[in-house]
Amino acid sequence: MLNNLVQHLQYRKKQFTRLLERLRSYFYVWLNVKHIHGKRLTWWSKSDCTVLSVVRDCEDYIESFIQHYLALGVKHIVLMDNGSKDGTISRAAKYKQVTIVECHLSFAEYKRDMRQFLIDHYSFNRWCLLVDCDEFFDYPCSDEISFRDLLAWLDIHRYNAVMGQMLDMFPRGAIQTQSNGKNLDFLQSHRWFEIADIEEKLLPSGLSNKMKDKANLKLHYGGVRNRVFNNSPFLSKFALLKPNFRLQLVGSHLVQWANIADITCVMFHYKFLPQFTQVVDKAVREKQYYNNSSEYKRYQEVLLENNTLILHSHNSIEYRNINQLLELGFIKVNKNYIQYKQEINQGQENTRN
């Protein structure tokens, strides 16, 4: 019995030590954040949504990124710049709906606390989209119901986390020889995707999440990057969140203590722009991503062997619309969601009549 007590006390001591370290890290980020553009305080409605993103040297994406999310229906975008040396800040600052803060701490060491800072300061108990600058979110039936309608449905059912499935988008030709990736060009050229090499797995146990239909939610791995680069990246991410005191981020992709919606959304992932080789070399050099950028080292090996890499294959599919992804089973909905969509459409029809 004494041995069990000692083990229990040692375990609690480790927990307390980890908690103190997390608090130290979080407040260190807090002390190193500086406001540089836009609104300092955000007093918008709880029914609105804010985009939160940590960015660095994203000038090839940033205007398309901002325009996409404003068109989607978000009210404000908050960017935390992590030391951009290109035109990211100047381009983003042209938009009045954008707030920019900066934090020059190591992304590899403090990325979790940077994201937590954005959540706590700009979206606590309000909806947010926690996304990277190359991730463009969309949702089932977005051609029929508004983004605000989606948020209303989530609130009705008291969900506070929605899984997004990343879909790697690429051009038909070699990725390094495509036209300039700035502004909207890549949205037009990168219209191809694959689902043949996606592996599905169940959500891990032990995260204390609530789910109505566990069978409808699967984690995605691999995809076209598994076929081309022989690695299996994690493609699922809880990006649409309504944080509260209980909900916690687990790494960059998972959550715990959340009430998870039994639908899934899509995040179009535009990783393969013409500058991909330079991005990979930088990531490998700076070791800023998971496991010292081991995933990027594999990209680099393949690119060194083939400097005119083509991702397109006989399994590639050209993207048409959001309903296509539903038909393919890539994203999921339930009967309640379809019924809700029909009720909204009927209400709109009655209003017109």
**Of 260, 265, 272, the residue nearest 299 (C-alpha):** 272
* Among 231, 240, 304, CA closest to 266: 240
Res 8: pLDDT? 47
The tokens for 148 are 């605000």
Confidence of residue 183 (pLDDT cuts 50, 70, 90): very low
Inter-axis angle of helices 147-156 and 335-352, to 10 degrees? 130
Which range has the worst mean pLDDT, 148-157, 235-244, 257-266, 288-297?
Answer: 288-297
Is 255 exposed, middle or buried (CB count within 10 Å of its CB: 0-12, 13-18, 19+)? buried
Report the pLDDT value the prediction gives residue 15, as an integer from 0 to 100.
Answer: 53
CA separation, residue 61 to residues 58, 84, 320 (Å): 5, 13, 22
Mean pLDDT of the chain: 88
- Cα distances (Å, whole numbers) of residue 60 to 66, 86, 272, 350: 12, 10, 12, 44
Q: Which amino acid, 132?
A: D
Q: Do 188 and 242 contact (CB within 8 A), yes or no? A: no
- Tell me if 143 sits within 8 A of 322, measured CB to CB: yes
Q: Are 138 and 265 in contact (CB under 8 A)?
A: yes
Most confident residue range from 113-122, 249-258, 314-323: 314-323
Q: What phi, psi does 162 have (nearest 5°)?
A: -130, 130
pLDDT at 178: 52
Residue showing tokens 């325009």: 67
Q: Are strands 49-55 and 127-130 parallel, antiparallel or unpaired?
A: parallel
Per-position DSSP letters for 5-27, written without gaps between them: HHHHHHHHHHHHHHHHHHHHHHH
Domains and CATH numbers, the chain: 1-132 (3.40.50), 133-352 (no CATH)
- Taking the CA atoms of the chain, what radius of gyration do you get in angstroms? 21
CA distance to 13, 15, 34, 278, 295, per residue, from 80 (Å): 34, 30, 9, 22, 24
Q: How far apart are CA 102 and CA 84, in angstroms?
A: 9
Percent of the chain at pLDDT > 70 equals 87
For 112, counting Cβ atoms within 10 Å of its Cβ (0-12 exposed, 13-18 middle, 19+ buried), the class is middle
Tens-place pLDDT, residues 256-279: 999 999 999 999 999 999 888 888
State the pLDDT at residue 48: 86
The residue assigned the tokens 């995040």 is 267
pLDDT in tens, 32-58: 999 999 988 766 677 789 999 999 999
Which amino acid is it at 139? Y
Is 0.75 surpassed by the pTM of this model? yes
For residues 262 and 162, give the distance between their C-alpha atoms in angstroms, rounded to a whole number: 8
DSSP calls for 231-265: ---B-EEEEEE---SS-EEETTTEEES-EEEEEEE
Q: Kindly give, in sequence order, each residue whose CB lies less than 8 Å from that of residue 17, ignoring residues fewer than 6 positions away.
A: none
Among residues 52, 224, 71, the alpha carbon closest in space to that of 132 is found at 52
- Torsion, CA 64, CA 66, CA 69, CA 73, rounded to 10: -130
* Confidence bin at 236 (pLDDT 50/70/90): very high
Residue 55's pLDDT is what? 97
Q: Which residues, in sequence order, are CB contacts of 64 under 8 Å at separation 6+?
A: 136, 183, 184, 186, 187
